Amino acid sequence: MRIVTIWYVALCFLFSLLPMALAGADELSPKIGLTLSGGGAKGAAHIGVLEVLEEYRIPIHAVTGTSMGAYVGGMVALGLSAEEIKRRTFEINWSDGYFDRQTRKELQLREKKRTDEFHFYTDIGLSLDGEVKPFPGLVLGQKMASILRKATGNPPNYDSFDQLAIPFRAVATDLETIEPVVLDKGNLVQAMQASMSVPGALRPVHKDGRLLVDGGIVNNMPVDQVKILGADVVIAVDLRDQMFNIEELHSAVTVVSQLTTHMTNKGTDEQIALLNLEKDIYIVPDVSFMVATDFDLMYQAYRSGRKAAIAVLPQLMRYQLNEKEYARYRVNKRNHRWNPSTYSFTNIIIINQTALSDNSLYQWLALQPNQEYSAEEIEQAIDRLYAKGIFEKITYELEKNGKQLSIIVVEKSWGPGYLNLKVSIERDNEDRPNYGVGAEYTLTNITNLGGEWKSKVLLGVQDMLMSELYLPLDYQQQYFSNVGASWQKVIRAFHNVDRFNLAPDEVKYKSWNIFTELGWNIHRDSSLAIGFDASYSDIQGELSSAPEQKVESFSGFGEFNYDSLDSFFFPNIGTLFDVQLGYRYSNSELDSGDISESVPYLDTQLVKPLSLDNHTLIAGLKASGSESNAFYPVAPQSLGGLFNLSGFTHFHFTGNYSAIGTLIYRYHLTDVDFKLFSAPLYLGGSAERGGVWLDEDDISWDSSITAGSLYIALDTLLGPVVLAYGKSEDDNGSLYFAFGSQ
């Protein structure tokens, strides 16, 4: 009996010590929370800190972040290693996130031709009654969302971010109340994007009836949130901006930046006050050499993060796990990480916020239920739809444990009518200007199949008015009809013609034209069409002795167009091939009598770039023409201008036939950094051989002209800027300055 009593007392004593033992265990293995501040490109420093934590077996049990810190923190929460986060982050071209336009290769053929001509992508919302509709933001966030989805693997929605491999919170700002919003559930990519949507640069994110922007405005280093997640120890990484001194406050930009930095740092200081520096660790990487948009300096920021973490290594080592404990921690994290491979949806839902039919959207996406798709294939489908150019935003979410794909398609809120502009200038040393300004108005979605009405006006060396109605005939927009009318005026020179027995003559062509065609969009890059056009032209020489010629013509034609170039002005890859074959009947009225003709005609062009590293060689060939016995060419062909017989001005040579071959060499010298974007700078030269002829019998190599040029060019967002010198074999030389599409 006494033995039983002794055992009973001993057990009670042991149980009384258990809470203290557990408390001691907790003290030995505290819950470590990581909080990461915002900082744009400077956020790469966080990856350097993470790398050191992993190398020295410091675990992370909770993570919070703001802006770029929310991105890195979200990647940590997914269970990714520092090496994997580093690889994915440095593979991203972050500058792309601040431009929503698709690349040229992603555009449909019709859209390529439009953007090549109207390179000022103003996209001004304009209604038929003249109301200008406000553009909702500099950048809509479509590309940034795509970048984040690709980086994360686009995990499904979570009831709580506690379900991630590591519990996570992101902080954004409610734009209406300027109060912090803690994002703790739902779509991880949306949470990241909301937290990093810089006001004025990226459009606010709509979530739960709120407009959310960058959390750095109110809480740039959320220590409070990581404590709420239960962190016993906080590792806080601060990427604060430094204040300007009085000598640097010399512009409106620096003054505004000073005020913004003060507000952000003040909020961060309040979070620092929550730290217990006897046990918490405060890391401040030196990123003073860069600003938030210096994405080209991200590797240096990463190195600074490593250096700063190593500097506090004695403090960090207090929380180091032994190898067995850390291996167990890593296994647990790996078991809970998001591992996307392929998706198979039992249901695909489109939430259609457009004037288009659901069938059209389904056909363009070309995604089917119960088939396997990779994340990349889904992104390609979204990009394919967005490339139509009529959508404000397209997002998608994985619901019901990834078995339902919900796609939200939003039409541009400032549409459906859009105004785009162009400006072009080319001037040579003889002060012969070739200039042009233009505007194009497009009214989209006039039918539920995506029909559009487009009108444009050009003024300058060529005046034009044109209006056309483009009508897709099926949901996929594979087949189409097009009908339109135009008027144009252009002055052409006949410096190569001596049969007039006149001084080199300048001739004014004015024409009225109607056309219609039926076509097949074979692929994104190619189309085939047949059509008919009718025109009336009034041709008048500038000299008083020159006759006047009036022409009526009717043509039937077939054409094939293929264009996979990555850039129209500075291509590196792809091919452009256009060919039109037709048959024309014309009747020319002259004082000497009428001339009626029925002739075939050809118009073709080929462009093929070949690139190796920074070197590109572009081969080009153009040939056009038809026979005519009228005094002036009925369908005039012209050459002249930079890369089009350099050394001469535009329309310097005119005749019935033209042909030119070009070889243009280009060297990518460097990129001029404009912070949010960079512009490639090129050096190069061209060799050209071509001619213009009135009669087919005159066409020969000997009667053609050799020309060439040397140039320096900058590929800007507003179009190409080129300074060049061109010279021909007969000593015609010109210094050119060119801007925009010619």
Q: Which residue stretches of 56-160 are H helix? A: 68-77, 82-91, 109-117, 142-152
Task: Please give the full DSSP string across 632-674, using - where no structure is assigned.
Answer: S-SS-EEE-STTSSTTS-TT-EEESEEEEEEEEEEEEEEEEE-
Q: What angle do CA 295, 298, 303 make, to 5 degrees?
A: 170
CB 418: neighbour CB atoms within 10 A? 23
Contact 694, 631 (CB under 8 A): no
Residue tagged 């009717």 (tokens): 554
Contact between 275 and 234 under an 8 Å Cβ cutoff? The reply is: yes
Look at residues 682, 700, 690 and name the one whose alpha carbon lies nearest to residue 728: 690
208 is catalytic: no
Task: Indicate which residue of 100, 174, 184, 214 is catalytic.
Answer: 214
Q: Is there a contact between 349 and 405 (Cβ–Cβ < 8 Å)?
A: yes
Residue reference for tokens 């491979």:
341
* Strand partners for 384: none
Distance CA(738)–CA(425), nearest Å, equals: 5
Q: What are the structure tokens assigned to 212, written together?
A: 């959310």
Paired with 590 in beta bridges are: 593
Backbone angles phi, psi at 649, to 5 degrees: -85, 170
Q: What is the DSSP letter of 186?
A: B
Active-site residue, selected from the candidate residues 67, 146, 555, 704: 67
**Cβ pair 440, 458 in contact under 8 A:** no
List the one residue out of 384, 349, 351 whose CA is nearest residue 365.
384
- The answer to whether the CB of 312 falls within 8 A of the CB of 281 is yes
Best CA proximity match to 663, nearest among 599, 609, 582, 734: 609
Which structure tokens are listed for 458?
């050009």
Residues 6+ apart with CB under 8 A from 45: 39, 237, 239, 285, 287, 301, 302, 304, 305, 308
67 is catalytic: yes
Q: How far apart are the first and last CA of the chain?
A: 109
Any idea what the Cα angle at residue 559 is, between residues 557 and 563, rounded to 5°? 160
Q: Which amino acid is at 78?
A: L
Quick one: how far is CA 665 from the chain centroid? Answer: 26
Token pair listed for 7: 């055992």
CA angle 365, 368, 369 (to 5 degrees): 135
Beta strand spans in 478-592 (E):
479-493, 506-523, 526-541, 548-563, 576-590
Q: Which residues, in sequence order, are CB contacts of 59 under 8 Å at separation 6+?
A: 32, 319, 321, 326, 329
Structural tokens at position 733: 């030389």
Would you name the residues annotated as active-site residues?
A: 67, 214
